[in-house]
C-alpha cells in the first residue's frame, strides 16, 4: 500500500493534484488508515499511470474518467478519436504557419503593415483551396489548386522566398522599362527562374498557372503577383519572342 506522499514521490504527481483527483472521483484511495490517511494499492497506481498517459495524449480529465471506467474497445475508440483531433490540429497549425509567413512577406514587400492585405491573407487561408481558386477552375484543376495554395511551404526555402519577393519588388520598380532592354529581359528571366523553382519545374502546372495569371481577377489569391507585373512579364516575353522569330526568318 502507498500513502499519498509515497504515491506522489513514486509518480511525480503532486499531493495537491492527487487530492483533486480524489475530489472528482478520478483516482480514489482503496483504503484509509485508522487515522483517516489515504492508502493506495497497486491497482490504484496502475490506474494513475493510465490517467497520466491519457493526459499526455491530450485528453481532458472528464474524457479520461469515461475512458478508465469503460472497457478496452472504448479505449481504442477514444484514442483513435484523439488521434483524429491531433491531425486536425496539425492541419490548423500548418494553415496558421502559412498565414503568418504570408503576412511577414507582405510587410517586407510593402515596406509597411498594410491591414487590408493582412486581413485578405487571413481570409484567403481560412478558405479551402478549391473555393479560393474557384474562379480559376478553367485553368487549374483541383490538385493544381492545392499545390498552388501550399507551394511556398513545400517547394521553397526561406532564401528562395526572399529571392521571389525581391524579384517581384524589382519588377514593380521597373514597370516602364522598354521590353527589349537588357534590364527588362533580365527581370523577366529572373522571374521565370523563380517560378520554375516554386513549381518544382512542373511545366504543366506552370502553364496552367500562367493561364490563370493572365486572366487574374482582383484579389489576394496570387499575391504578390498583380496585373501590372503579369503584363510586364508577358510584354517582355512576347516582344522578345517576336524579335527572335524575325531574326530566324532573316
State whether 56 and 147 are in the same domain: no
Q: Locate 13 and state its grid cell.
A: 504527481
Same domain, 227 and 137: yes
- Comparing 14-18, 55-59, 112-116, which segment has the lowest mean pLDDT? 112-116
Instruction: Give the three cell numbers for residue 184.
Output: 527588362
| Domain end point (choices 44, 69, 94) | 69
Same domain, 153 and 240: yes
Would the pLDDT of 130 be above 80?
no
CATH of the domain at 57: 1.10.1660.10
Output 134 or 178, whichever has higher pLDDT.
Answer: 178
Report the number of distinct structural domains present in the chain: 2
Same domain? 161 vs 245: yes
pLDDT given at position 71:
61
Residue 226 and residue 131 share a domain: yes
> Both 145 and 40 in a single domain?
no
User: In this structure, is residue 93 part of a structural domain?
Assistant: no
245 and 145 together in one domain: yes
Flag whether pLDDT at 230 surpasses 90. Answer: yes
Q: Is residue 228 part of a domain?
A: yes
Q: Is the peptide bond before 224 cis (omega within 30 degrees of 0)?
A: yes
From 52, 69, 86, the end of a domain falls on: 69
Last residue of a domain, one of 29, 53, 69: 69
Are both 146 and 49 inside the same structural domain? no
Structural domain for 62, as ranges: 2-69
Q: What is the pLDDT of residues 144-179, one digit of tens each?
A: 887 776 665 455 677 877 888 889 999 999 999 999
Q: Is residue 49 part of a domain?
A: yes
Give the model's pLDDT for residue 174. 94
Domain membership flag for residue 8:
yes
**What pLDDT, in 10s, does the model give residues 57-109?**
888 999 888 888 876 656 677 788 788 888 888 888 887 887 888 888 888 87
238 in the same domain as 140: yes
Domain-embedded: residue 95? no
Q: How far apart are CA 214 and CA 192, in angstroms?
A: 15
Is the domain of 134 the same as that of 239? yes
Q: Which residues, other chains included, contact 243 with Cβ-Cβ below 8 Å and sequence gap of 6+?
A: 180
Residue 8 has pLDDT above 80, yes or no: yes
Whether 106 is in a domain gets the answer no
pLDDT at 151: 65
Has residue 92 been placed in a domain? Answer: no
Q: Does residue 212 lie within any of the structural domains? A: yes
The pLDDT confidence band at residue 24, using thresholds 50, 70 and 90, is: very high
Residue scoring higher pLDDT (130 or 39)? 39
Sign of the CA dihedral with 230 first, then 162, 119, and 127 last: positive
Instruction: Tell me the per-residue pLDDT of 182-220, one tens digit each, with 9 for 90 and over.
Output: 999 999 999 999 888 888 778 888 889 889 888 887 777
Residues 6+ positions from 197 with CB-CB distance below 8 Å? 155, 156, 160
pLDDT of residue 179: 92
Look at residue 72 in the predicted model and tell me its pLDDT: 60
pLDDT in tens, 28-53: 999 998 888 999 999 899 889 889 98
pLDDT at residue 156 in the model? 64
The pLDDT of residue 173: 92
If asked whether residues 136 and 236 sit together in one domain, one would say yes
Q: How far apart are CA 104 and CA 123, in angstroms?
A: 15
Amino acid at each position: 500500500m502507498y500513502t499519498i506522499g509515497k504515491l506522489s514521490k513514486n509518480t511525480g504527481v503532486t499531493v495537491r493534484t492527487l487530492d483533486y483527483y480524489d475530489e472528482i472521483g478520478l483516482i480514489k484511495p482503496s483504503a484509509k488508515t485508522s487515522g483517516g490517511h489515504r492508502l493506495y494499492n497497486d491497482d490504484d497506481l496502475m490506474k494513475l499511470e493510465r490517467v497520466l498517459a491519457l493526459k499526455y495524449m491530450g485528453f481532458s480529465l472528464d474524457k479520461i474518467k469515461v475512458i478508465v471506467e469503460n472497457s478496452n474497445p472504448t479505449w481504442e475508440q477514444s484514442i483513435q478519436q484523439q488521434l483524429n483531433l491531433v491531425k486536425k490540429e496539425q492541419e490548423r497549425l500548418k494553415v496558421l504557419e502559412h498565414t503568418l509567413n504570408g503576412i511577414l512577406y507582405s510587410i517586407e514587400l510593402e515596406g509597411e503593415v498594410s491591414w487590408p492585405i493582412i486581413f485578405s491573407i487571413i481570409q484567403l487561408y481560412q478558405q479551402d483551396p478549391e473555393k479560393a481558386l474557384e474562379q480559376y477552375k478553367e485553368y487549374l484543376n483541383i490538385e493544381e489548386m492545392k499545390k498552388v495554395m501550399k507551394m511556398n511551404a513545400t517547394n521553397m526555402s526561406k532564401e528562395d522566398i526572399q529571392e521571389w519577393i525581391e524579384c517581384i519588388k524589382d519588377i514593380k520598380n521597373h514597370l516602364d522599362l522598354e521590353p527589349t532592354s537588357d534590364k527588362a529581359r533580365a527581370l523577366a528571366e529572373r522571374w521565370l527562374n523563380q517560378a520554375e523553382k516554386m513549381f518544382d519545374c512542373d511545366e504543366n502546372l506552370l502553364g496552367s498557372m500562367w493561364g490563370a495569371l493572365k486572366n487574374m481577377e482582383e484579389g489576394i489569391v496570387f499575391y504578390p503577383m498583380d496585373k501590372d507585373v503579369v503584363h510586364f512579364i508577358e510584354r517582355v516575353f512576347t516582344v522578345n519572342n517576336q524579335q527572335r522569330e524575325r531574326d530566324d526568318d532573316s
